[in-house]
Amino acid sequence: MRLLRDQVLEPTEEFPTVRCWKRYALKKLIMRVVRTNSSELKASVFATAEEVIRSLLKIGWLKTIPLESLDQDAVAMYFLEMEAREGDMIDPLEVLQGYMPEGVLCYFGVLSYLELTTQIPPFFHVASMDKSPLPHEWRESSLHLVDEGSHYKNPMGQEIFRFEGAHCYKTRRNAALVPGIQLRNFGPRATLRMTTLEQALLDALIYPTQCGGQSVVFEAWERGVERWNSDRMADYLLRINKPSFDRRVGAMLEVLGFSNSSSRLYDRLMGVRKNIGSSTSEISLLNGMSYLGFNEQWKVRIP
């Protein structure tokens, strides 16, 4: 037990949280501990990973995370908090990070975690990153249907389980559209890999449904522009290099009455606006939503 405990004292790049584990990942870790410490362990004390898990459950260092699965292939996950206090809370974001250690948390759950919305998320997302270049025939019009690069038919992604009533989804996103990723401390034995505040605001414009809908998006932007790093937003827009993203940001700032004429972001947005011509197609402020109002300068439909 001591050797295993030493392996789960701090989060690592491979395992951002060392408290929430899928059954397979935990068994793999236990077997690795046995292999790397075979000289210290006596043959008589060797135990299978299953036996170790049963022992941990018996002494209370390991607890089953209650998940509701939608099919027969139930996801088994555990909360490994040695000497944990009875009733310790587990956050859906940490459960999802444990489910997909290499994944990036995004959308409504991140907006809530960053306190950009006062609404309680009924669902959470974790995304795998597709690092292949965007297809040459890439069209933004498809973005409101599924994440770019995703093979899931449901625009929300694939529901993997429900935790405490919340729907938990996995999806796949193209890394070219997600330059803003960060690691945030989540206690002494966990970190969370999630989108930054600026990326979360961009996501809210492009994926409003996954971010909770119009009311959540506007609340997030009203709160976000008071706290964001506008230079960082300008950098993300430069790296994404899709003028329609800039146009939505510019139109949203005008809707909110927010102005900052001495910033890199302002300079970039004005450069994009100068290139908007009569042949530029109209887009909606929130991708996939219809509005009657129209911002002529940005050619963006607005509420």
**Domain chopping of the chain, boundaries:** 2-90, 229-303
Q: Which two tokens stand for residue 55?
A: 């022992």
- Which amino acid would we find at residue 294? F
From first to last of its 303 residues, what are the pLDDT tens digits of the chain? 677 777 788 999 999 999 999 999 999 998 888 777 666 655 545 578 888 899 899 988 899 999 998 776 678 999 998 655 545 678 999 999 999 999 999 999 999 999 999 999 999 999 999 998 887 666 665 564 456 656 667 889 999 999 999 999 999 999 999 999 999 999 888 999 999 999 999 999 999 999 999 999 999 999 999 999 999 999 999 999 999 999 999 999 999 999 877 799 999 999 999 999 999 999 999 999 999 999 999 999 999
pTM for this entry: 0.91
Quickly name the fold that domain 2-90 has. Arc Repressor Mutant, subunit A (1.10.10)
Gyration radius of the chain over CA positions: 22
Q: Which residues contact 237 (CB under 8 A, 6 or more apart)?
A: 245, 246, 249, 265, 268
Residues contacting residue 236 through CB under 8 Å, at least 6 positions apart: 179, 180, 198, 199, 202
Sign of CA dihedral 269, 270, 276, 282: positive
Distances (CA, A) of 183 to 25, 105, 108, 190: 21, 10, 17, 10
Contact yes or no for 267/230 (Cβ under 8 A): no
Task: Of 217, 253, 228, give the one whose Cα is nearest residue 117.
Answer: 217
**Residues with Cβ < 8 Å from 120, sequence gap 6 or more?**
112
CB 174 within 8 A of CB 106: no
Measure the CA dihedral 44/48/54/57, to 10°. Answer: 90
